[in-house]
Amino acid sequence: MVRTLKNNKAKRVTRMIAASTGVATEPVAQAYIGIVSPDTTFDLQDETGWVPVEKYSAAMKIMDGEVGKLGDVRFIETPNAKVFEGEGASSIDVHGTIIMGMEAYGVSRISGAALQNIVKPLGSGGTDDPLNQRGTTGWKATFVAKILNDDFIGRIEHAVSS
């Protein structure tokens, strides 16, 4: 996937993190971003060349959910990564790992309230809550996400160890 992104002239997303004088830190080159499931992370950690975030020289430059890097990709872990359950050979689960470069996608607001938090205090239910025991809170959000350049994003479908 990295080769494809490079050949498609996709720019790397992150900036360089230089090595520090700390013990056992490693520089982190500019990189593409990978979105992985926890099961995929488990397997990546056994790969030669894997660098966990604990060995980055500057912890403050770690992205939310980032777990490490391998080659030209820094990986962000999420339990929401796509898993095609039972879709592989012998009905194994197929994990979808997204690798992307800069400007692969864009996010925009929809006109109106982008984020709304709604709170109904105790007793606001009227006769449905005669003892004033229930209150609720919730939120709703609107936004648009769109792939801007298919050449700058791709999905690797793979199995994971059990």
Can you give the residue range of the structural domain that contains 68?
2-102+150-158
In the predicted structure, residue 109 carries a pLDDT above the cut 80: no
Q: What local confidence, expressed as pLDDT, does residue 128 receive?
A: 86
Tell me the pLDDT band of 107, cut-offs 50, 70 and 90.
Answer: confident
User: How many domains is the chain partitioned into structurally?
Assistant: 1
The answer to whether residue 141 sits within a structural domain is no
- The pTM for the full model equals 0.74
Residue 109 lies in a domain: no
Domain membership of residue 114 (yes or no) is no
Q: Are strands 83-84 and 94-100 parallel, antiparallel or unpaired?
A: antiparallel
Within a 10 A sphere around the Cβ of 95, how many other Cβ atoms? 21
Return d(Cα 57, Cα 124) in angstroms, integer. Answer: 52
Q: Does residue 83 form part of some domain?
A: yes
At 35, is the pLDDT very low, low, confident or very high (cuts 50, 70, 90)?
very high
Percent of the chain with pLDDT over 90: 60
pLDDT class of 18 with cuts at 50, 70, 90: low
Whether residue 20 lies inside any domain: the answer is yes
Note whether residue 60 is domain-resident: yes
* Structural domain contains residue 112: no
The band of 23, judged by pLDDT with boundaries at 50, 70 and 90, is low
Whether residue 88 is contained in a domain is answered as: yes
